[in-house]
């Protein structure tokens, strides 16, 4: 383009811009038809309006929820001020029980039971009996709550009934073990099992698989709360090779918490014959807690197992059950290929009374010395 043609190019560009910004002015071919431009702008405006509406609705919902929570909290605070002093008086003085329980209006029964539950879980004997007497006329509201669609409502009702019904709702609580919500079934188990009824333990064990995603420790603790009444069913599960390895491991964990020596022989058999790592480790932990030196042949046979987790559990058991002659076995394991096993061996050696051996190994180079120094430092031994 020459300088002579520059004014014509500027004029053409101006006309094009004008045709985009002012319909009908100058050249009309902008590359995008005008009706399509209007549709895009309209779509954007509508989208922005929808988004603003959703944002406003979300804000209103949040404000509403906050106001509701504030009302509930205020109502609970007012109820605490009215009922806690009277509950404490009734728990202390039997003559007050009838007056207090009859003074609760229908609209406050659930709040009253919730407040009463706080104290009922802390008292025993005559005070616990008075707490149950205070609750008795008002438990119907919790029975109705069991029909709620919200699992948390049903779980709370089960806890109240299990704590304050004095055994009168046993059938209802047993049915709750089959509630579709696991949290409700678990709540029922936790209030039922401390009774020590073997039938409760067996029923819960029959349904244990549904809790496979839950913590094994929690499940074992729940089962162990059944005390000696739970032991026969737990032993039977551990002995049954047809049961899943996971269920048997939970049973072994519970028997360990109960420190049951009667399950030790089965634990030794399972630890050496099973192919499931978790089950074998659980059985070795049971041996470690409830076993004796008579179980040492089983333990010693597993300290060189191919599975590092089994080796670690066996070394822990050897440290607790072993004799002074076993300390060299523990010391040699300080050089295990698995750092975790080596540390376990060092801790076991310390617990077995091998401080002098650890002390002598501290000055060595390599894995033995490194692990020995770490264990001695962690145990605060120089």
Spell out the per-residue pLDDT of the chain, length 382, in tens. Answer: 444 443 444 344 444 434 444 444 444 455 555 566 777 778 888 888 898 888 888 888 888 888 777 777 777 778 788 889 999 999 999 999 999 989 999 889 999 999 999 999 888 999 999 999 999 999 999 999 999 999 999 999 999 999 999 888 999 999 999 999 999 999 999 999 999 999 999 999 999 999 999 999 999 999 999 999 999 999 999 999 999 999 999 999 999 999 999 999 999 999 999 999 999 999 999 999 999 999 999 999 999 999 999 999 999 999 999 999 999 999 999 999 999 999 999 999 999 988 888 888 887 777 878 888 888 888 776 6
**In the structure encoding, which two tokens stand for residue 236, read together?**
């039977």
Please report, for residues 62, 245, 290, the alpha-carbon distance to residue 251 in angstroms, rounded to integers and kept in the order given: 46, 10, 14
* Other C-beta atoms lying within 10 Å of the C-beta of residue 9: 10
**In the structure encoding, which two tokens stand for residue 206, read together?**
């029959």
338 CB-contact burial (10 Å; exposed 0-12 / middle 13-18 / buried 19+): middle
Per the listing, tokens 């709360």 go with 225
Nearest to 134 by CA among 170, 179, 66, 84: 84
**In the structure encoding, which two tokens stand for residue 112, read together?**
């009253």
């Amino acid at each position: 383009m020459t300088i002579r043609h520059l004014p014509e190019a500027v004029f053409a560009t101006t006309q094009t811009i004008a045709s985009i910004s002012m319909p009908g002015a100058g050249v009309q071919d902008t590359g995008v038809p005008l009706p399509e431009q209007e549709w895009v702008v309209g779509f954007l405006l509508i989208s922005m309006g929808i988004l603003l509406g959703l944002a406003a609705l979300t804000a209103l919902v949040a404000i509403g929820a906050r106001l509701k929570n504030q009302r509930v909290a205020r109502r609970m605070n007012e109820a605490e001020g009215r009922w806690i002093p009277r509950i404490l008086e009734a728990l202390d003085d039997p003559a007050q029980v009838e007056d207090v329980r009859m003074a609760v209006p229908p609209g406050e029964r659930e709040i009253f039971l919730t407040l009463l539950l706080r104290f009922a879980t802390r008292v025993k004997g005559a005070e616990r009996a008075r707490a149950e007497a205070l609750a008795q006329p008002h438990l119907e509201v919790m029975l109705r709550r069991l029909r709620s669609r919200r699992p948390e409502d049903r779980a709370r009702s089960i806890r109240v009934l299990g704590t304050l019904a004095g055994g009168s709702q046993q059938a209802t609580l047993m049915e709750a073990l089959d509630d579709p919500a696991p949290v409700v079934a678990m709540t029922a188990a936790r209030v039922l099992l401390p009774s020590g009824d073997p039938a409760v333990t067996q029923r819960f064990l029959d349904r244990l698989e549904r809790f496979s995603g839950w913590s094994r420790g929690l499940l074992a603790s729940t089962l162990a709360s059944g005390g000696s009444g739970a032991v026969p069913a737990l032993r039977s599960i551990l002995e049954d090779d047809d049961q899943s390895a996971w269920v048997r491991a939970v049973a072994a964990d519970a028997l360990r918490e109960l420190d049951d020596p009667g399950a030790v022989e089965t634990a030794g058999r399972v630890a050496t014959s099973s192919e499931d790592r978790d089950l074998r480790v659980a059985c070795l932990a049971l041996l470690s807690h409830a076993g004796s030196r008579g179980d040492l042949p089983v333990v010693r046979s597993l300290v060189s197992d191919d599975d590092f987790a089994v080796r670690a559990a066996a070394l822990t058991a050897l440290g607790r059950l072993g004799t002074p002659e076993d300390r060299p076995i523990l010391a040699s394991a300080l050089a295990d290929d698995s750092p975790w096993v080596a540390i376990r061996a060092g801790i076991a050696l310390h617990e077995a009374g091998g401080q002098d051996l650890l002390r002598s190994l501290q000055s060595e180079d390599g894995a033995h010395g490194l692990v020995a120094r770490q264990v001695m430092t962690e145990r605060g031994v120089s």
